[in-house]
Amino acid sequence: MSLEDFISRHHRLFILTGAGCSTPSGIPDYRDEQGNWKRSPPVTYQAFMGAQATRQRYWARSLVGWRRFGQARPNGAHQALAALEALGKTELLVTQNVDRLHQAAGSSRVVDLHGRLDLVRCLGCERRTPRGAFQAELAGRNPHWAALDADNAPDGDADLEAADFSSFTVPGCVACGGLLKPDVVFFGENVPRERVERAYEHLAQADAMLIIGSSLMVYSGYRFAQAAARQGLPIAAVNLGRTRADELLTIKLARPCAEALAFLL
């Protein structure tokens, strides 16, 4: 069966997307085609919370990385999935990406499973601040660092390696002085329960699952493929490498996402 047939035969698709959707937009993937890390793993929640030095390193890299990450634009994969929603085929789109490019392309039935990088969250008072405004504050306090450049990393930071991040100033919350964290789920941190429950509620209404650009190596996404299989739903996947759910798939396309979905545009 072709992907086109698969989509035409089903009417309430539960769609899960991952990094492979956003790589053509200039946001690199963490993993190679075998599903292994291709770079040093991202910061963990425990490391971020545990040490000021880790937060200095994180925000210094983020200051440099955000300039490009914040300007990323949707590509054909995002546009094709927005077109699929416009056809009334989308029960829900759950994305593991934190770049908001599905929304930028016009999708609205979206759950940002791992949060969104365009907001900064205060862990003291839960105030959210746009990342763009915070960028100006970071740059103002760290003019030397703001002049640096480096390659992008997938979570919006940059491959910036300095011997010493201790001169980097990390502002606290303007309202309460609390610790600021990007409004994303870090490795080692749980996805908020209401987000997971909302996804499961929609999965229960779905008649098929479509996985786009994810190896499902992270359990927070893999569990939905397991649940879909338990429900007896057919599952199609587009991913350039192997996925953790390969044995559960009805069809599998090892092609770039935008190319595989181009028939929708």
Contacting residue, 70, 106, 178, 241, with Zn ion by CB under 5 A = 178
Contact code string over 129-168 relative to Zn ion, x by CB under 5 A: ----------------------------------------
Check binding of 204 to Zn ion (CB under 5 A): no
| DSSP summary character for residue 158 | B
What does the block give as tokens for 254? 């090892």
Instruction: Please state, in angstroms and rounded to a whole number, the distance separating the CA atoms of residues 261 and 79.
Output: 9
Bridge partner residues of 187 (DSSP): 44
Check binding of 123 to Zn ion (CB under 5 A): no
Minimum gap (Å) between residue 123 Cβ and Zn ion:
8
Beta pairing class for 235-238 and 208-212:
parallel
The residue among 176 and 254 lying less far from Zn ion, judged by its C-beta, is 176
- Report the largest interatomic distance among the alpha carbons of the chain, rounded to a whole angstrom: 58
Check binding of 26 to Zn ion (CB under 5 A): no
Number of C-beta neighbours around residue 135 at 10 A: 17
Query: Which stretch, 86-94, 112-120, 173-181, 190-198, contacts Zn ion (CB under 5 A)?
Result: 173-181
Cβ–Cβ < 8 Å for 19, 30:
yes
Contacting residue, 86, 125, 133, 204, with Zn ion by CB under 5 A = 125
Catalytic residues: 114
Check binding of 119 to Zn ion (CB under 5 A): no
Check binding of 124 to Zn ion (CB under 5 A): yes
Check binding of 241 to Zn ion (CB under 5 A): no
Q: Which amino acid is at 103?
A: Q
What does the block give as tokens for 49? 């919370």
Bridge partner residues of 92 (DSSP): 14
User: Residues in the site for Zn ion, rule: CB under 5 A?
Assistant: 122, 124-125, 127, 173, 175-176, 178
